[in-house]
Amino acid sequence: MQHKRMKSRFLAPLALAMTATLVTPTVQAGWFDQSLFGPNDEKRLNEWAKNPDKKMTWGEWDFIRLATRGDGSKPNAHPVQLNVKQVATALASVQGIPFKEVKPLFSESEVERLSNAIVLGLKNATPDQELVFVSTGQHSWTGLVAPVVGNCGRIFFVDGKLNILLGMHHADFVADKKNGSRLDPKFDFGSRSTPAKNVNLTGVTEGQATLIRNDWIALTLQPDVAPASTAATTAAAPAAVAPSMDTFYTKQESRLKALQRLRDQGLITEAEFQAKRAQIIKDL
């Protein structure tokens, strides 16, 4: 009996120490800060939009801001008015291989947080500006105690496409700081002239996109504001609406086929397949 009591006294603090060790990375990465200052903070976003050259921050490292366009590239198509839902769908569809398997680039919380900021930022950007960002998140596929991993990059709109250019892909900022230099990470926002190392984007699960490089993907999006003459043109030629409807349903068919292929390849679960399928059908 005495031996059991001693064993119990030894195991209890050991279990607490292990729990603290597992939880610490999440707290250090500012996950709780992200919850307190999340994507629904409309007032903070609107205040930031008045001066987007400054940082809009979430948590310890996460931020987005406007920066000067670099690398001697051609001017961007800014300012541009994009649709938040369309941007969110595009961000959620981007896939890459951070380790050995194809995984989503952004977590759900990152998609919600970034999509609102991207729309406001590009609405206030000039042709010589683009967004730079650092975004961290916890991905369910990494396990029960999910580490916080982050992306760094540039976002800009040109030639009818939302471009995402990465300098870092699912970097483990917490582990680097805790077990390595003990210093805050040096963020790499990527370059149009020099491909980034250790970045491997693969494409999208839905919609249209062009993989320019392993670190650079361009997502086809339709600006939210139509030309002023659209209504008059539609009234004069109502038959012209039919091709756009055909295009819409063709796109939904492609989304469903792509979703089924992901399930058949074992890349998503049956539950994920059914949930996403229901969402697509709801949009019809």
Give the pLDDT score at 85: 95
The reply to whether 218 and 239 lie within a common domain is: no
Distances (CA, A) of 173 to 105, 116, 134, 180: 16, 24, 11, 10
pLDDT one-digit tens code per residue, 114-153: 999 999 999 999 999 999 999 998 876 555 566 788 999 9
Distance from C-alpha of 108 to C-alpha of 132, rounded to nearest angstrom: 20
Helical (H) or strand (E) element with 257 = helix 241-264
Q: Are both 46 and 165 inside the same structural domain?
A: yes
Q: Kindly report, residue by residue over 74-86, the tens digit of the pLDDT.
A: 899 999 999 999 9
Q: What is the pLDDT of residue 284?
A: 64
> Across the chain, how many H-helices and E-strands are there?
9, 10
Residues 55 and 111 in one domain: yes
Percent share of the chain, pLDDT over 70: 70
Query: Is 11 part of any domain?
Result: no
Poorest-pLDDT segment among 162-166, 169-173, 179-183, 217-221: 179-183
Least confident of 12-16, 26-30, 109-113, 181-185: 26-30
Domain total for the chain?
2
| Judgement on whether residues 255 and 199 belong to the same structural domain of the protein | no
Examine residue 227 and say whether the peptide bond preceding it is cis (omega within 30 degrees of 0).
no
Average pLDDT across the chain, whole number: 77
Q: Are residues 202 and 262 in the same domain?
A: no
Same domain, 95 and 178: yes
Say yes or no: 189 and 238 in one domain: no
| pTM (predicted TM-score) | 0.66
Decide if 162 is inside a domain.
yes
Q: Are residues 75 and 201 part of one domain?
A: yes
pLDDT (tens digit per residue) in 205-237: 999 999 999 999 999 998 876 444 333 333 444
Same domain, 127 and 92: yes
Q: Which domain holds residue 277?
A: 230-284
- Same domain for 220 and 234, yes or no, is no
pLDDT of residue 176: 62
